[in-house]
Structure 1
Amino acid sequence: MGKMTDLNPDESFIDTNKLIFGIGQVQKITGVSGRQLRYWESQKYIAPIDQEKGVSRQYSLHTLFLIFHINRFIKKGFTLQAAVDHARQFDAQIPALRQFLRSQLKGVETGPNRTLLDLGYLNAEHAQRVYGVIDKTGETSFEIKDVK
């Protein structure tokens, strides 16, 4: 395995509020047509960034992800309303996931056959560390290793 890359949880992540996508980019990235996007806007499922008159629609990264997830649930057979509900529920969970990863992820070690995510100590005794494992096929699991 390669060297473990240490992560500093105090370092800021990229300011995603500054990542803006035009309607054409959103269509290419998500596969959702402009007509669908305008309909979803009319139903208040999504909203473009406030814009000047005459400027094409633009969307935040957050909205891009919401569009992606709505479309993903539709492809799984959900109605539009159910897809929106599921996408919003998923979206509501993201802050908790982000907070957990910021505080727990201590480093990443990559190798040819697997990647290890160092999730820190198992408990306050500091006798064992927990690792998330991603193998070369994409399967995931956990490992607990004794600290020497």
Structure 2
Amino acid sequence: MAFDDKFLETLIVGIGEVSQITGIPTRQIRYWEDKGIVTSLTNGEGKNRRYNYINIKKMLLIKELIDEGYTLETANLKVVKRMEMIESTMNSLKSIQS
């Protein structure tokens, strides 16, 4: 399965849609944002929160780990490390192709 990188870079979804897609309640997404685990692209209070592909992927991975019994903090640490490894690998691949 090929990924459309251009599409993923421009993908921005509102909190309600993220909740529907991921099965994570909006209240929980807001809590995770308050804890600094995910970051909304919205500036200012009172505006609809919007999230990009990276944040949505992070939410799904954290949800999966929590469902497996990890705490929120431990799940977040594991996901951050995993995403750093993936980013590093992708950067290495890009430098090889250059």
Larger CA Rg, structure 1 vs 2? 1
Structure 2 residue 92 is matched with structure 1 residue 92:
no
Whole-Å separation in 2 of the counterparts to 1:100 and 1:47: 26
- Percent identity between the two aligned chains: 29
Displacement of 1:24 after TM fit?
1.3
Shifted more, 46-55 versus 87-96: the winner is: 46-55
Mind listing any 5+ residue stretches in structure 1 that lack a counterpart? Answer: 1-12, 105-148
Which has the higher relative contact order, 1 or 2, with Cα contacts under 8 A spaced 6 or more apart? 2
The answer on whether the counterparts of 2:42 and 2:48 sit within 8 Å (CA) in structure 1 is no
Whole-Å separation in 2 of the counterparts to 1:98 and 1:77: 29
SS in structure 1 at match of 2:13: strand
TM-score (norm 1): 0.55
Mind listing any 5+ residue stretches in structure 2 that lack a counterpart? Answer: none
Structure 2 residue 57 is matched with structure 1 residue 65:
yes
Aligned residues: 93
Q: Which amino acid aligns with 2:81?
A: Q
Q: Once superposed, what is the RMSD of the aligned Cα atoms?
A: 2.3
TM-score (norm 2): 0.79
